[in-house]
Amino acid sequence: MLTRLLIDYPVLASITIILITVASYQLAASQQQKWQTIWLNPMLITIALLVPLLLFFDINYQQYSQATYVLNLMLEPAIVALGFPLYQQLRQIKFHWREIMSILTLGIIVVITVSFIMAMIFIKAPEIAIALSLKSVTTPIGITLTEQLSGDSSITTFAILIAGLFGGLLGPAWLSFIGVNSAKAQGLAIGSASHAIGTAVLVRVSAEHGAYSSVALILSALLTALISPWLIPLLQQLFS
């Protein structure tokens, strides 16, 4: 039925799919607020509710993306809102900028290198290795870099989503478990590994968590765009 609507009445179908998406998210958000558990993450629950529906109505990712284009437009200004905690902590961040840049640069090089090598060892597919090595940036940047480097952008999209969800769900608890309790360290770790999804979670923890996660999100995207175009071809030569 929805597939037919997408073809015959695209505007009506788009409104229907957007309403289902927003209703699913609001339902999950209300339940998370009620039960106060990380496992009721609205993003995770929304995906769990939508995927079976899309499969049942035979709606592919491209059709869903086109139908929810309005939501994608709203996403960019929403991400800008994550910069408010950064503004609140700007003086403190300026004081530590050398340490932050050093940590993030080293972290990005290690993540790209390890991800690429592990993927080549176990999967032996360069396009997938490229996609997986770019999982720790926001989706638009990850897709652009993947396409420039001849990777599989659909794998990149999936990997970015998984990195964001798992970082947001498990990151704070895992870091606390291994003794990393500093708001600065947790913010930098999760912001650089789990981008906007992880940052959105940390903003709710404290302003300091959110600020350092936001700066890691921004700088990681910039550094990945600068480092990956020369590092990934270099890694490819190791397996050529």
pLDDT tens-place string over residues 19-68 = 999 999 999 889 888 887 777 888 888 988 999 988 888 888 778 888 88
Asked whether 195 and 217 are in contact (CB, 8 A), the reply is yes
Domain boundaries, the chain: 2-76, 83-238
Over range 168-195, report the average pLDDT. 91
The residue that leads in pLDDT, 8 or 163, is: 163
pLDDT for 225 equals: 93
Using alpha carbons only, what angle is made at residue 187 by residues 104 and 31, rounded to the nearest 5 degrees? 140
Residue 80 has pLDDT above 80, yes or no: no
Please report which confidence band the pLDDT of residue 228 belongs to, taking 50, 70 and 90 as the band edges: very high
- Report residue 3 CA to chain centroid gap: 28
Give the total residue count for the chain: 240
pLDDT for 2 equals: 59
Contacts of 27 (CB under 8 A, 6+ apart): 45, 49
Residue 11 has pLDDT above 60, yes or no: yes
Over range 137-144, report the average pLDDT. 87
Q: Which amino acid is at 9?
A: Y
CA distance 113 to 109: 6
C-alpha pair distances (Å), 173 with each of 31, 36, 99, 162, 179: 20, 14, 24, 17, 10
